[in-house]
Structure 1
Amino acid sequence: MGIERTGYRLRLVCDAEYCRNHLGKGLLEVDGDSLSRCEWAARDVGWRLGGDTVLCTDCNAAETRRERLSANEQSDSAQKMTKLTQPGKWHGGKFHLAKRIIELMPPHVHYVETHFGMGSVLLQKDFEGVSEVVNDIDGRLTAFWKALQSPTSFEAFCRLIDATPLSQIEWRQANTTMAAVTTGKSLAERGAAFFINNRQSRQGLGKDFATLSRNRTRRGMNEQVSSWLTAIEGLPEIHERLKRVVILNDDALKVIRQQDGPNTLFYCDPPYLAETRSSGEYEMTYSDHVRLLALLGRSVAVDASRFDDAVETLGPLLEWQRKGKFLLSGYPSSLYYETAGMNTWHRVDIQIDNKASSAKTKEIKTVCMWAN
């Protein structure tokens, strides 16, 4: 941080990357004591004055870690950091919003995604100096990620995928494998069936075989064949990236409780409220959303007539003392708006066209990002 003197007040100018890009100068102001108001943290933070610089005690660990990197190490780190494309399609995925989401993240040491999906944010995020944990309740999805991560399973997985063309016959067979009891199937076989079912289906929903283009080609071949081959070509880089990541298959609320800490950042991208969009396979009910919001906040705007239990059962969730920070994605809804207001969470609205639409003029949607 740098300092500016304005009258009898001391204005601190925060040089942290997030604050510099989003909040600008004059972030912190003090009247001579050792505390100042940080608008991003939404609370008083400590600071130290040394010479002509000011160091925020909240940012100290992250700033020190960055300062230890020499110019050469920073260059090497930048070369290692390759932004990867998610391997499959995902309804409600954040591939086109990942850069904006990452820009909103405050400094952190421990990064946790509670609803991982197809991993578009993690795969575009810098990994240096951060421990990473991802979770999803869908066991078939996490089996796919584990097949990509495991050295032995990945080799077998690649042999299966390399031998599979884009084909409605192959897609139907994968669909049958997905629907059947998978006892006796190897991790590679389960992962391959999921990948084929997802990547060769329309919009990644796994319900219908992909719609084939008739009026254009890509790389001199059918557009969907090209897309399938491109996805396969990118798998080795994702395999390398996943070596640094812990993969969980558990309830999101349990993961938040277990992984919380003062240096933790949670990115929560739950299936959106059913009333705000078309549905996917693994849904969250209104009551599920209420419980998630209760755990993240201190108050929740619950409609008792829609909640599936006595409102009093939310008490333990509301009383739990969260230490970390979070980013939470969602479409506009009264439940989220009112809860955010009660907890004084920050909100950033991002406009994006509906990528899943086949219409020439795509509907513009608003994705909200809430943060504590």
Structure 2
Amino acid sequence: MTMGGLWPRLRLKLLCWTSCPKGARLFPAVSAITLIIPGKGALGMMLEQVTRPALRYHGGKFRLAAWIIKFFPPHRVYVEPFGGGASLLLRKSRVYAEIYNDLDDELVNVFSVLRNRGDELLEALKLTPFARAEFDLSYEISTCPVEQARRTIVRSFMGFGSAAASGKRTGFRANSNRSHTTPAYDWKNYPDALPVIIERLRGVIVENRDAAEVIQQHDSEETLIYADPPYVLSTRSLRGGIKSYTAHTGYKYEMSDDEHRALAKLLHSVSGMVVLSGYSSKLYEHELYAKWERFEKQSMADGAKPRTEIVWINPACSEALHAASGLFGAYRG
């Protein structure tokens, strides 16, 4: 079947969505249409984009997502073994199989609830005021998955910095002197952004396992692994540039240098394509990923501190990008 033969059917489907009688109930969000091309599988084309992150999460890449996605070659299976706030997953086009994984069971609960009970969570969040009492309550554990997801999200958006989502104690964001909107006004608009996120997560496999197990299970030549592990400890700093190895840990589960070495050994052995995020360090630059292609971009970290984010891609990813560059354009930039 030619592309020309697909468009009449596609146009009819779009007309069905756009010409319903006034007041008719539609799906909460239409996030993608899928074109099935013989021999090529499913090609996801985003119609409505996710416009804000599901969580404010330490090391989250939501603002960098468009740049990082440039390094994603065509793939059939997508794996985020260190899922965190799922910023890349939420902003990329859907593929045949997608796996979100994280060791932090609170994060996993949030995305499981968004996927399976999103409407309940959305209603609960609409009724949640931006209040110190709600923020204080959010540190208490609930046995109800929906309520616990609500509390994790509250903690994430009402706490200073990005570490609150991981359970770190922070102050309440009651500031009223920002140059743009206040945190309270941002919170008011948050529920409006959720329907697209909920729809995007449907069909995603959500795991709470060791990253290595997930990588090994889903590895294939058609798999893209986006690895965004906790930053190497020696690259951390507090305000003012003071190095900190223990005081500024924004993740619930950290990684030692030896654990980074074990991850690198695994990533060097896979059959799939790998895109890796991190900060510059002797460990990564000279020991673990010296032979991988490397790209960098200036970004703003917590506290509006400029940092250089780096992406490394393995040889399989480089080859796939070069092979696809005639169709998808250059990926450097």
Same topology, TM > 0.5? yes
Asked whether the equivalents of residues 50 and 193 of structure 2 are also in contact (C-alpha less than 8 Å), the reply is no
Instruction: Please show how residues 201-220 of structure 1 align to structure 2 within 5 Å.
Output: 201-206=159-164, 207-215=169-177
Q: Does 1:158 align with 2:122?
A: yes
**When the two structures are aligned, how many residues end up with a matched partner?**
267
Asked whether the equivalents of residues 54 and 85 of structure 2 are also in contact (C-alpha less than 8 Å), the reply is yes
Q: Which string of whole-angstrom CA distances, capped at 9 and with x for unpartnered residues, describes residues 7-48 of structure 1?
A: xxxxxxxxxxxxxxxxxxxxxxxxxxxxxxxxxxxxxxxxxx
Q: 1:132 aligns with which of 58, 80, 98?
A: 98
The structure-2 alpha-carbon separation of the partners of 1:111 and 1:215, relative to structure 1 and needing over 3 Å to count, comes to same
Instruction: Please show how residues 30-109 of structure 1 align to structure 2 within 5 Å.
Output: 70=6, 73=10, 78=45, 80-109=47-76
Partner of 2:306: 364
Displacement of 1:204 after TM fit? 3.2
Distance in 1 separating the partners of 2:53 and 2:5 = 29
Distance in 1 separating the partners of 2:86 and 2:56 = 10
The structure-2 alpha-carbon separation of the partners of 1:227 and 1:70, relative to structure 1 and needing over 3 Å to count, comes to same
Counterpart AA for 2:65: A
Is there any run of 5+ residues in structure 1 with no aligned partner, and where? Answer: 1-63, 298-320
Partner of 2:224: 265
Counterpart AA for 1:351: Q
Instruction: Please show how residues 140-155 of structure 1 align to structure 2 within 5 Å.
Output: 140-150=106-116, 153-155=117-119
Distance in 2 separating the partners of 1:69 and 1:267 = 35
Displacement of 1:265 after TM fit? 0.3
Provide the identity percentage.
Answer: 29
Q: Which string of whole-angstrom CA distances, capped at 9 and with x for unpartnered residues, describes residues 302-360 of structure 1?
A: xxxxxxxxxxxxxxxxxxx4210100001001111123555x21111112233x22xxx
SS of alignment partner, residue 188 of structure 1: helix
The structure-2 alpha-carbon separation of the partners of 1:341 and 1:326, relative to structure 1 and needing over 3 Å to count, comes to closer
SS of alignment partner, residue 87 of structure 2: coil
Higher relative contact order (CA 8 A, sep 6+): 2
Counterpart AA for 2:275: L
Is there any run of 5+ residues in structure 2 with no aligned partner, and where? Answer: 15-32, 35-44, 237-247, 315-333
The structure having more radius of gyration, on CA atoms, is 1
Q: Does 1:196 align with 2:167?
A: no
Distance in 2 separating the partners of 1:67 and 1:209 = 55
Asked whether the equivalents of residues 230 and 251 of structure 2 are also in contact (C-alpha less than 8 Å), the reply is no
Asked whether the equivalents of residues 171 and 209 of structure 1 are also in contact (C-alpha less than 8 Å), the reply is no
Distance in 2 separating the partners of 1:367 and 1:67 = 39
Q: Does 1:281 align with 2:223?
A: no
Distance in 1 separating the partners of 2:112 and 2:119 = 12
Instruction: Please show how residues 321-360 of structure 1 align to structure 2 within 5 Å.
Output: 321-340=269-288, 344-354=291-301, 356-357=302-303
Partner of 1:112: 79
Distance in 2 separating the partners of 1:192 and 1:280 = 20
SS of alignment partner, residue 349 of structure 1: strand
Asked whether the equivalents of residues 171 and 201 of structure 1 are also in contact (C-alpha less than 8 Å), the reply is yes
Displacement of 1:281 after TM fit? 2.9
Asked whether the equivalents of residues 158 and 173 of structure 2 are also in contact (C-alpha less than 8 Å), the reply is no
Asked whether the equivalents of residues 85 and 124 of structure 1 are also in contact (C-alpha less than 8 Å), the reply is no
Q: Does 1:239 align with 2:198?
A: yes
Q: 2:138 aligns with which of 155, 174, 187?
A: 174
Asked whether the equivalents of residues 88 and 231 of structure 1 are also in contact (C-alpha less than 8 Å), the reply is no
Moved more, 89-98 or 197-206: 197-206
SS of alignment partner, residue 364 of structure 1: strand
Counterpart AA for 1:324: G
Distance in 2 separating the partners of 1:339 and 1:239 = 40
The structure-2 alpha-carbon separation of the partners of 1:146 and 1:364, relative to structure 1 and needing over 3 Å to count, comes to same
Q: Which string of whole-angstrom CA distances, capped at 9 and with x for unpartnered residues, describes residues 122-144 of structure 1?
A: 111111x4321111110011011
Q: Which string of whole-angstrom CA distances, capped at 9 and with x for unpartnered residues, describes residues 237-267 of structure 1?
A: 2111111211111110111111101100000
Q: 1:293 aligns with which of 264, 267, 279?
A: 264
Asked whether the equivalents of residues 60 and 84 of structure 2 are also in contact (C-alpha less than 8 Å), the reply is yes
SS of alignment partner, residue 294 of structure 2: strand
SS of alignment partner, residue 351 of structure 1: strand
